[in-house]
Structure 1
Amino acid sequence: MNTSSNTTPTWSHDLISSARIALACLDLTSLNDADTEADIAQLCQRAQSPFGPTAAVCVWPRLAAFARAQLPPHIAVAAVANFPYGNADVDAAMRDTVQIVQAGAQEVDVVLPYKALMAGDEAAVTTLLVAVRQACPGLVLKVILETGELQTPELIQRASQLALDAGADFLKTSTGKTATHATPEAAHIMLAAITAHPSAQKYAGFKASGGIKTAQEAIIYEALTQHYLGAAALTAKRFRLGASSLLANLEAVLGELDDESPTQPGGY
């Protein structure tokens, strides 16, 4: 980035192109415990950016119906299930999922029971994910692996495989509620798992979430997705970014404005 004498940034062509992709693939997120309808109304307004719409907004199940009523049909509503702790409580995950379906949302972001996986209980992981998949037919299912907690490449790979076997449409890195968020290292493993899966390689996507605040950070995950899944995958159908404060920076890049805009409220 070069800076002229009036401090207005002059962004590179590659960064502007990346910002356009990132905005179109953004799940604009607010997952604060105290979120209200007023907060979500503001979020939904932000999702309708002057530079184009985001792919989705991501909210709590209790606010999914309200969000759906605030948005045009071309912006999806995603809501979280089994969030953020990733317990192995199938009934609780099912209650979230049913609420999301009844709200008219299009997407479910469910946390894989990563603690059960770390304890060696793969059956608990599969039981919960299959139950959620069956409870939301026709909806996009993103499975949050919480890669920062899994700690080893082998666990991240196994979580990826179990999620894809259960019918995940996307593998998602993180809840944004733990110390370690999205990392390129985890992305490599997850994307490789998609390309190696006999059926999911044809349709499954990747979502990086947590700690992504700038177009410069987003371009890392775009490049990884393109490397593994091909350039055609850089659309909302197979690539997402989950963030709350990224949009302001993307708008700064696309508008060649000062990018010291205040961040937006949210959980990531």
Structure 2
Amino acid sequence: MNNALNELIREAETVRADERYALRALVSMDLTSLGEDDTDETIRTLCARAVTPRGHVAAVCVYDQFVPLALGELAGTGVRVATVCNFPHGGADTAASVSEAKAQVAAGAQEVDVVLPYKRYKAGHRDQAIALLHQVREVCGETVLLKVILETSQLQSPKIIAEASRDAIEAGADFIKTSTGKVPGGATLETAAIMLEAVREMTPKVGRPLGLKPSGGIRTVDQAAGYLFLADRIMGPEWATPRTLRFGASGLLDDVKKHLGL
């Protein structure tokens, strides 16, 4: 990582929350519940929290069996419904992932967060790993947003993270996402900077909007502000919108509401 980028990351670490950052975090949040013990009531409560007097989150992210319920609860609110595919382990069974994605799209999921087979990718079997993404992209078509989870803490190497970011985008990712939240290590500013640079490089090449989704361990507006600052500096001050930046979070909303007096 070059000196200029390292300096930018150090600046991002010093950014502190204010109302503006809290509002930006709110509208770019994927409010998430992916617990093994989730129930219909859990999801109803999640959906009720997604809309506040100061605005609504971008999406809720739930397991696929709850997609129809979430769609009903959120009808007319502007909040989108996302689910997860090949989650959380990033298995290598392409047929299973394609079948899973087909069912999710049929159920009405508006966004699919699919896990890159990161172990296979890191081991050098990249073509097979990326082929899974291509096929899930085909299932999603042009209307369902596809976010690819790289599980960056497991890829570890900045070089591999950058390569995986570019490969995922070429395979059809609308967003690249840091983490599942199910393994040690989540989003970091260093990783986000690497991924944002890949987004900046690839956007003119693919000719469509691309986004970043930091996920894993982001619980405060102070933390979210650092990522927003990086996005503003690397991509430009008008770039970060719910179409291009999301925060995968379950606990961030509480701190956002505190900053907004809700």
- TM-score past 0.5 threshold: yes
Secondary structure at the aligned position of 1:199 is classed as helix
**Within the alignment, does 1:248 sit opposite 2:254 as a pair?**
yes
**Quick one: percent identity of the two aligned structures?**
45
How far the C-alpha of 1:200 sits from its partner, in A, is 4.1
For 1:169, give the aligned amino acid.
Answer: D
Cα 1:201–1:220, aligned 2, differ >3 Å: closer, same or farther?
Answer: farther
Please say which of residues 86-95 and 186-195 is displaced more in the overlay: 86-95
For 2:132, give the aligned amino acid.
Answer: L
CA RMSD in angstroms comes to: 1.5
> In structure 2, what is the equivalent of residue 55 of structure 1?
58
**Within the alignment, does 1:162 sit opposite 2:167 as a pair?**
yes
Correspondence for 1:110 among 107, 114, 121: 114
How far the C-alpha of 1:51 sits from its partner, in A, is 2.0
How far the C-alpha of 1:63 sits from its partner, in A, is 1.0
Check conservation: 2:16, 2:225, Cα contact below 8 A: no
Check conservation: 2:28, 2:242, Cα contact below 8 A: yes
For 2:252, give the aligned amino acid.
Answer: L
Cα 1:210–1:14, aligned 2, differ >3 Å: closer, same or farther?
Answer: closer
> In structure 2, what is the equivalent of residue 3 of structure 1?
none
TM superposition score normalised by structure 1: 0.88
Q: What are structure 1's unaligned runs of at least 5 residues?
A: 1-11, 258-268
Secondary structure at the aligned position of 2:180 is classed as coil
Correspondence for 1:96 among 100, 109, 114: 100
Q: What is the number of equivalent residue pairs in this alignment?
A: 245
Check conservation: 1:28, 1:54, Cα contact below 8 A: yes
Q: What are structure 2's unaligned runs of at least 5 residues?
A: 1-14
Which structure 2 residues correspond to residues 1-268 of structure 1 after superposition, within 5 A? 15-73=18-76, 74-137=78-141, 138-197=143-202, 198-200=204-206, 202-255=208-261
- The separation in 2 between residues aligned to 1:87 and 1:194, in whole angstroms, is 25
Check conservation: 1:26, 1:240, Cα contact below 8 A: yes
- The separation in 2 between residues aligned to 1:229 and 1:93, in whole angstroms, is 32
For 2:212, give the aligned amino acid.
Answer: F
- The separation in 2 between residues aligned to 1:68 and 1:118, in whole angstroms, is 36
- The separation in 1 between residues aligned to 2:176 and 2:39, in whole angstroms, is 28
